[in-house]
Each structure stands twice: as C-alpha cells, then as structure tokens.
Amino acid sequence: MKILVIGGGGREHAICWKLAQSPQVRKIFCAPGNAGTAEVAENIAIDVMDIEALRVFVEHQSIDLTIVGPEKPLIAGIVDVFEARGLRIFGPSREPAQLEGSKVFSKRLMRQAGVPTADFEVFDDPEEARAYLRAADYPIVVKADGEAAGKGVVVAQDYAEAETAIRQMMEERIFGASGERVVIEECLRGPEASILAFVDGETVRPMIAIQDHKRIGEGDTGANTGGMGAYAPVRLAPQSVVDEVTRRIIEPTVAAIRATGIPYRGVLYAGVMLTEKGPYCIEFNCRFGDPEAQVALMLLETDLVDICRAVVEVELDKVPVIFSQRAAVTVVMASEGYPGSYPTGVPITGLDGARKLDALEVFHAGTQRDESGQLVTSGGRVLAVTATGETFIEAQKRAYAGVDLIHFKGSAVRRDIGWQA
C-alpha cells in the first residue's frame, strides 16, 4: 500500500513510524513532514491546507489511503473533497468535524444527546453576554466558538476577567470570526484525561486513557501550550472509566452525529474532566491529540493500517484494537520562549545517543535539516521523547534519560510529566 500522512508534527511522525512497521505498507509520503518523518517517509512540500494540491498528488501517485493528522484540513472539508473523487481518506468529513471546529455545535449536540457536559449558554451579542455575567456565579468559563489556536478558553475568576474575555473575543475580535459567538459555561472541577477512540460511524473502539500536560510550567502553571508531555496508563482513569466515557460520552455523540445523516469516521478525542458526579466532556477534537498520539501509538499493538482501513470501510467491528499493558511517557522538548515567540534554526545534537536506548523513540515535531544537513529546530515544540516501561516509573526514567542526552540551546522541558501518576 501507498499511504499519505498529512501534517508535520510529533503526532504525524508517530503515525508514520507506526505505519512503517506494517508489512502491508510499501511507501509512506508525509506532507509536509519534518526531519523525523523524512527517515521513514518521503516528505512532500505541500501545505496541509492546500487541499487541491494534496488531492492532485494522491491521484497522480495512486495513493491507497490518506491519513489526516491536524484538525484544520478536516474542519475545512478535505475528506469531502477526497471522497467525492472516490479516494480513501481517514478522518471525519466537514460537518462532523465541527465537533472541534465549533464549540456551539459541539455543546448543542452534547445537550441534545444527553452527554454530561458543563451547563452553558450561547451568546452572539456582547451586551447580552455582559448582562448574563453580571448575575453569574464565579469562576465561570468563556469560550470562543471557533478555532483559536488553543487560546480561546478563559476560566474567569470574577466579572472583570470574564468581561475582558467578552470584549476581546466579541468586540476586538482577537480570534477573528471565531469570536462572533461565545459559549459561557459552568466551571467544573477535577482531574482531566484525554480519551480517544477509533470510530467508523457505528463501532467505537476506545484507546487507553492518556493525561496531557497543557501548561508550560511545572506543577501545571503558566501559559497554555499544545501539550508539553503525556503518559498512560492514568491511575484515575482505569478501564472502568474508559468504558463509562465510551458509553456516556462517545457512543451517544457518534449516534447523534449519525442521525444527522453524515456519520463520524476517524479518531474522536474526548477531553474529559473526572468530576465528583462522574466524567464530564469538556471538549471534542476530531483527530489524534499531540502528544497523546505519541503515547497511544507506542502502546498500540494492532496494525494501524488494519484499523484505518476498517474505519474507512465501516468494518471496525471486525478488527480488535489491542494496547500493550506497559506504561508510556512522552516528554516534549520545546524552543526557548514557547508558547510565545521563539528562535528557529538552533542546532540539535545528541539524538543518536538517545536513540540507542531501548524502548525509546524520539519523535520529531519542529525540526528540519539545514543546507549542510545539520538537524535544527523549526518550531515551538521540537521533539517528543517517548519511552515505554513495565511500570510508569521505568518509562518516565527512560524518557528523561533520553531527554538528558539531547541538546539544543534554550530547550524547555517539564521535569514533572506524569506527576499525577
């Protein structure tokens, strides 16, 4: 089989790495990829949002299957374009991808499907939002409806903070049209977990629960990032919790989407909060998480090609999805200054040494080769050093042993990945 993977981060390197282990795969392309994907795939210089160029490439190369990493092309409708041409592609089509693309769509669907989620109101008029906020209890959560690069959620401690969020989102439009509407919702409390599932529109095959670390600083402090590390298994989310999330959150959502006439196919990612009243859904993503994918794919024992094909062909009921009982930890090495502005082109050394460690993979995120072939940084998140072990402690030790062998100037690493374990 010839496969195209769309994207260029740590998630996509992990997807390419896993695909490369399949005896069914003859050739992998990655668009645009990074220096890591270049070792297992052929990188193609096409932007993830250039859907037309991607389609032409797939048709010319007779690619058998395309796997979409990031949400943006999914929300923009890449799957609809490919399917209209009879091309096999893994990911949800435009309408169901709005589960991630629009908080209003996602919250209304959850309410209608009876999925436990924070109580909420939708506003398109800032004055009405202010009136509501004046009478509200605090803390309260304000969310921009659309895509906001992970910055569209404000947990406001008082009216002043909430009002600032309303002004910035709805009037100053700091997220553009994404702030035309906002969701204001009840603030929930509890540890969070990412519960991802493969979905073919009917059958749901949950993965293991994973915990991400969104804040830049140790002890979960500082600015929000794309994710500074992740691990599994999560002690607070054993199989019984995964089963409950599948039954109460994922399956009813998949059924409600199916009832709209366009089934959900791909990975459905539920961000859940484990509250005193049970698991509540905080958000949906329409794709693998990053860095959750690095952990999930290190532990996945089933051939990823079999799963993706079964999803596309609506035969997931015939494919068991099996995960190892081992633990896995991924530690992100980020550029100095991330998630703010950061330098690029910084030389990276020590990778070969780290790679000699057993049960460890260094997934590349923001890397490239300069003219001389030297590996350099090219993004905010640079590497995701991922290890497995019999126990969490073993996996964590191994991952940090790998991190300690790798150097680039100003690298930012959280030393407490998995502290809740």
Does residue 12 belong to the site contacting ligand GLY (CB under 6 A)?
no
Q: Cα-flanking dihedrals φ and ψ of residue 342, to 5°?
A: -150, 155
Does residue 40 belong to the site contacting ligand AMP (CB under 6 A)?
no
Nearer to ligand GLY, 212 or 251 (CB): 212
Partner interacting with residue 155 (select from ligand AMP, ligand GLY, none; CB below 5-8 Å by kind) = ligand AMP
Phi-psi region of 173 (alpha: psi -120 to 50; beta: other; left: phi over 0): left
Q: With contacts defined by CB under 6 A, name the span among 52-60, 184-192, 288-296, 363-371 that binds ligand GLY.
A: 288-296
Question: Which one among 100, 251, 283, 361 touches ligand AMP, defined by CB under 6 A?
Answer: 283
Query: What is the DSSP secondary-structure string of 90-152?
Result: ES--HHHHHHHH-HHHHHHHHHHHT--B--EEEES-HHHHHHHHHT--SSEEEEESS--TT--
Question: Which one among 192, 200, 290, 361 touches ligand AMP, defined by CB under 6 A?
Answer: 192
Does residue 290 belong to the site contacting ligand GLY (CB under 6 A)?
yes
Determine the angle formed by the axes of helices 94-101 and 103-113, rounding to 10 degrees: 100
- The one-letter amino acid at 173: R
Q: Among 341, 347, 385, which Cα is nearest to 365's? A: 385
Q: Which of residues 209-238 bind ligand AMP (CB under 6 A)?
A: 214
The answer to whether the CB of 207 falls within 8 A of the CB of 296 is yes
- The one-letter amino acid at 132: Y
Does residue 147 belong to the site contacting ligand AMP (CB under 6 A)?
no
Nearer to ligand AMP, 18 or 103 (CB): 103
CB of 151 to ligand GLY, least distance (A): 12
**Residue nearest to ligand AMP according to CB distances in the complex:** 283
Partner interacting with residue 212 (select from ligand AMP, ligand GLY, none; CB below 5-8 Å by kind) = ligand GLY
CB of 116 to ligand AMP, least distance (A): 12
Nearer to ligand GLY, 185 or 292 (CB): 292
- C-alpha 307/C-alpha 313 separation (Å) is 10
Does residue 271 belong to the site contacting ligand AMP (CB under 6 A)?
yes
- C-alpha 226/C-alpha 155 separation (Å) is 17
CB of 194 to ligand GLY, least distance (A): 7
Q: Which of residues 27-66 bind ligand GLY (CB under 6 A)?
A: none
Question: Which one among 106, 203, 285, 378 touches ligand GLY, defined by CB under 6 A?
Answer: 285
Q: Cα-flanking dihedrals φ and ψ of residue 208, to 5°?
A: -75, 155
- C-alpha 189/C-alpha 15 separation (Å) is 33
Q: With contacts defined by CB under 6 A, name the span among 186-194, 243-251, 313-321, 338-346 that binds ligand AMP.
A: 186-194
Angle at 289 between CA 71 and CA 309, to 5 degrees: 75
Burial label for 335, CB within 10 Å (0-12, 13-18, 19+), is buried
CB of 155 to ligand AMP, least distance (A): 5
Does residue 192 belong to the site contacting ligand GLY (CB under 6 A)?
no
- C-alpha 403/C-alpha 349 separation (Å) is 11
* Contact footprint for ligand GLY (CB under 6 A): 212, 226-227, 285, 289-290, 292
* Contact footprint for ligand AMP (CB under 6 A): 118, 141, 153, 155, 185, 187-188, 192, 214, 271, 282-283
